[in-house]
Structure 1
Amino acid sequence: MPAPQSRVGVGLILTRGDGKLLLGYRVKAGETPCWCMPGGHVEPNETFADAARRELHEETGILTDATIEIGAFLHQLNPECTAITVAARLQLADPPTPRVTEPEVFAQWRWFPQDDLPQPLFPASAALLAQAAGQPLPDGWHAYPLATG
């Protein structure tokens, strides 16, 4: 099967009241295990915020109608596929406990201080978190911040 020509995804930077960030330990077959924020592909006829909300629920069991903010668009410079990942943000003061709902993809969910994140990070998560923190992006990524005002 040929590789897809383009891929559009969303990654959700979910924080709770104490500022800790939610990451899942990704154990998907055929991939190197790593830590990853909730997220995934945007389905046809779905907004980025709706995709982030759906992925959060599918992957962690957390269901919320809180406002999800959309940040930058990140472009992974990959010669085999045009890959765009959109940064989404959500802060929940006291979120429900995340559950492993897709054990074939995630082994666990944990909250981490933003200044002490585990390694390795899933490539899109690493890029989104670097962009959100105002740090240089990993090699092979370019950010397009949303214009304000």
Structure 2
Amino acid sequence: MSSIEQSIIGVGAILVRPDGAVLLGYRDKLGESPSWCLPGGHVDAGESFEAAAVREIAEETGISGLQRPKLLAITQNLSSAASIVTGAVLANVEQDAEALVLEPAVFTEWRWFSPSALPSPLFPASQAVFAHWQGDESPAGWQTYPIVPEE
């Protein structure tokens, strides 16, 4: 494999409060265009998407005690030089869940938004995850593979 070719397996977590609001962080990471992003990150070897979501959320926001995290879909960026795959995980949180900025080199703030009034720009993988969750078509260059619930 050349140094240009690489695989990135990540997770993006949609955290939903009882009032329906979802959590997004303002991602202002050196070398990237600033954007709004779901909590998430890399999936470690031997780790499920759900376990990675729980770990990443705690590391980035301090929120723990997720209720029923479940994998909704896998998204794939087909227009990237790298193979980028993101697991979309949905979890419920308490109404008073407070997100802290624990990785200031990546995020400057966390805010709760109505799913019908999401900010822009969205981080590309987060945009693909939201599109699936909201029943919209995948963004250009992205493919989504829905997870069929077990009977």
TM beyond 0.5: yes
Q: For structure 2, list consecutive stretches of 5 or more residues without a partner in the other structure.
A: none
Q: Residue 44 of structure 1 aligns with which residue? A: 45
For residues 5 and 65 of structure 2, the distance between their equivalents in structure 1, rounded to whole angstroms, comes to 31
Residue identity in the other structure for 2:49: F
Q: Residue 120 of structure 1 aligns with which residue? A: 121
How far is the alpha carbon of 1:63 from its aligned partner? Answer: 1.6
Cα RMSD after superposing both structures: 1.5
Q: Residue 100 of structure 1 aligns with which residue? A: 101
Matched ranges for 1:12-23 at <5 A: 12-23=13-24
Q: Residue 32 of structure 2 aligns with which residue? A: 31
TM-score, length basis structure 1 = 0.94
Q: Residue 111 of structure 2 aligns with which residue? A: 110
Q: For structure 1, list consecutive stretches of 5 or more residues without a partner in the other structure.
A: none
How far is the alpha carbon of 1:12 from its aligned partner? Answer: 0.1
For residues 92 and 5 of structure 2, the distance between their equivalents in structure 1, rounded to whole angstroms, comes to 33
Structure 1's consecutive aligned runs of 4 or more residues displaced over 6 angstroms after TM superposition are none
The number of equivalent residue pairs is: 149
SS in 2 for 1:59: helix
Query: Percent identity at matched positions?
Result: 44
Residue identity in the other structure for 2:82: C
For residues 65 and 133 of structure 1, the distance between their equivalents in structure 2, rounded to whole angstroms, comes to 21
Residue identity in the other structure for 1:39: G
Residue identity in the other structure for 1:99: L
CA contact (8 A) 2:66 2:91 kept: no
TM-score, length basis structure 2 = 0.93
How far is the alpha carbon of 1:2 from its aligned partner? Answer: 2.2
Write out per-residue CA displacement over residues 59-101 of structure 1, whole angstroms, 9 at most, x where no aligned residue. Answer: 1011225321111111110352111101000011324210000
CA contact (8 A) 2:66 2:92 kept: no
1:131 aligns with 2:132: yes
